[in-house]
Amino acid sequence: YAQESNPHDSVPWWKNQVVYQIYPRSYQDSNGDGVGDLKGIISRLDHIKSLGVDVIWIAPFFKTPSFDTGYDITDYQSVDPLFGTMADFEQLVQEIHKRDMKIMLDMVFSYTSPQHPWFLESQKSTTNPKANWYLWRDGRGKAAPNNWINASTFELAWKYFPERQQWAYGGFTKEMPHLNLRNPSVIDEHHKTLKFWLDKKVDAFRFDLAFQTDWKASDFIETIQENERLYPYPKYQPTYLASNHDYVRSGTRLKGRMDRAKVLALLQGTLRGTPMIYQGEEIGMVNGTIPDYEAFDFIPYTLTSVLTKLAALVNLDLPFAANRDNVRTPMQWSGAQHAGFSSTLKKTWVKINADYAQVNVEKELQEPDSVLTTYQKIFALRKASKPLQFGSITLLKQMPQNVVGFERQWNLEKAVVLVNMGDSATRVSVTPYTTQQVKLGLNQAQLVNGVAELPPQGALVLGQ
């Protein structure tokens, strides 16, 4: 959901935005307690702006007992003291808007913590005012209502509450009861929450319930075709994200290959859609190596962890992280202690990745061909190109086997993107686009006499 555009704008504001996701616990610690917070985010806004980001998407910072590190909420209209105060949030909004960016909040409206006042009242009886605010069912004798399993741990989705003598449904986990979204009173409360944050000048919302594909040109082409079918131009628009706070980091899935990380950044920045970047992707961060027995995340202590280990034995890569702490490790700002994330004299909330001295913002800013500087170039080009921001997309035919090629067009202006996803060099004739100039090249790709010379993982963006 997004605030309405200015009626004088010809294109809705969200159509050309680059989105950057922050997991607050792991972005920047401002007070030395080892945990990221809102003031820490404020101190790093200039970095985000330098990437070419338009919208900052912030994961939940509302009051929570932290069973699910923030997604189990007890008060939707609050700031958990771990992250700061409401005054800190208001300052964050002000500073984001001062830099001509927007803020999007992650709203978890499907379920709450069992410690939420709504649930505490709902579980008391079948006749109280909030009795129908959650999904309650009678059991089958002493057994659960049915054999449904939840989405996170593949265990029974029902939990019995003796006080009410009924079972509560938890589709994600039985420890986070599902709200009854067919109850108008629940919807009214959610609307009040949205208005509360809109009054705080929040610009958009993401509703919680990825760009997941193999590294093959054919698979990427199928993804593009499917998205264009589901979200046809110009009325609808897909999003392209490579990872987030739940999924294995793209750097890990790419086996640490930074040449592919740059190609992925280029595809996100040039495809028709909204690119969403998860913190750390811009420097090529990979998963951490936190063992299950040290996890804050509850999932490693469940059946999911067992299934993940079995998948590893048969060399099957799963997109989701069984220990989500490993995709939520602190942002690597520098080679200093705690990667510049925290000044704590103790431990950070989870371990810093071991590679922080080699992979960090400070270091990559000094390297003209780093993943970070590549992101900056790509999004700067996007902002300067109407076809890349607003244009239609047409896949180019008769491309070599490992090449993804497409044309973006806005009015009479065109841009052409050619990406070699293979590990062998290839050539593509661009005779139909002889008037085009090279706007960006990756991994030493070049245009020679009307032919695109594409080394392994090479890419070109041509424009007028």
CATH code: domain of residue 262: 3.20.20.80
- The span from the CA of 131 to the CA of 124, in Å, is 8
Whether 140 is in a domain gets the answer: yes
2 confidence band (pLDDT: 50, 70, 90) = low
Task: Return the CATH number at 455.
Answer: 2.60.40.1180
Strands (DSSP E) found in 3-79 = 19-22, 55-58
Residue that has been written with the tokens 């806005």 in this structure: 410
At 287-331, the pLDDT tens digits run: 999 888 888 777 766 655 555 555 555 555 655 667 889 999 999
Whether 186 is in a domain gets the answer: no
366 and 280 together in one domain:
yes
At which of 348, 377, 406 does a domain end? 377
Q: Would you say residue 338 has pLDDT above 90? A: yes
Contacts of 227-231 with C-beta under 8 Å, sequence gap 24+, read: 227/273, 228/272, 228/393, 231/273
- The span from the CA of 216 to the CA of 400, in Å, is 12
At 103-136, the pLDDT tens digits run: 999 999 999 999 999 999 999 999 999 999 999 9
What pLDDT was estimated at residue 310? 57
168 and 196 together in one domain:
no
Whether 329 is in a domain gets the answer: yes
163 and 246 together in one domain:
no
Q: Would you say residue 451 has pLDDT above 60? A: yes
Q: Would you say residue 209 has pLDDT above 70? A: no
At 52-63, the pLDDT tens digits run: 999 999 999 999
Whether 185 is in a domain gets the answer: no
Kindly state the average pLDDT of the residues 227-234: 93
Whether 249 is in a domain gets the answer: yes
- The span from the CA of 146 to the CA of 332, in Å, is 46
What pLDDT was estimated at residue 212? 54
The total number of structural domains that make up the chain:
3
Kindly state the average pLDDT of the residues 349-368: 97
Kindly state the average pLDDT of the residues 190-217: 84
42 and 138 together in one domain:
no
Whether 370 is in a domain gets the answer: yes
355 and 371 together in one domain:
yes
95 and 195 together in one domain:
yes
Kindly state the average pLDDT of the residues 389-409: 95
202 and 305 together in one domain:
yes
At 10-48, the pLDDT tens digits run: 678 888 899 999 999 999 999 999 999 999 999 999 999
The tokens for 239 are 């999003």
- The span from the CA of 459 to the CA of 446, in Å, is 8
What pLDDT was estimated at residue 298? 74
Tell me the CA distances in angstroms from 405 to 220, 264, 430, 432, 452, one per residue in order: 11, 14, 11, 13, 11
At which of 148, 180, 212 does a domain end? 180
1 confidence band (pLDDT: 50, 70, 90) = low
116 and 105 together in one domain:
no
What pLDDT was estimated at residue 6? 47
Whether 5 is in a domain gets the answer: no
What pLDDT was estimated at residue 7? 43
Domain holding 271, by residue range, is: 13-109+191-377
- The span from the CA of 404 to the CA of 421, in Å, is 7
What pLDDT was estimated at residue 210? 45
At 91-109, the pLDDT tens digits run: 999 999 999 999 999 999 9
Kindly state the average pLDDT of the residues 418-427: 96
220 and 335 together in one domain:
yes
175 and 195 together in one domain:
no
At 148-189, the pLDDT tens digits run: 988 777 789 999 999 999 999 999 889 999 999 999 999 999
* Mean predicted lDDT score pLDDT of the chain: 91
451-454 vs 446-448, strand pairing mode: antiparallel
Whether 55 is in a domain gets the answer: yes
353 and 454 together in one domain:
no
- The span from the CA of 102 to the CA of 202, in Å, is 8
157 and 221 together in one domain:
no
What pLDDT was estimated at residue 151? 79
434's CB contacts (< 8 A; 6+ apart) are: 450
Q: Any idea what the Cα angle at residue 200 is, between residues 194 and 205, rounded to 5°?
A: 40
Task: Return the CATH number at 167.
Answer: 3.90.400.10
What pLDDT was estimated at residue 211? 47
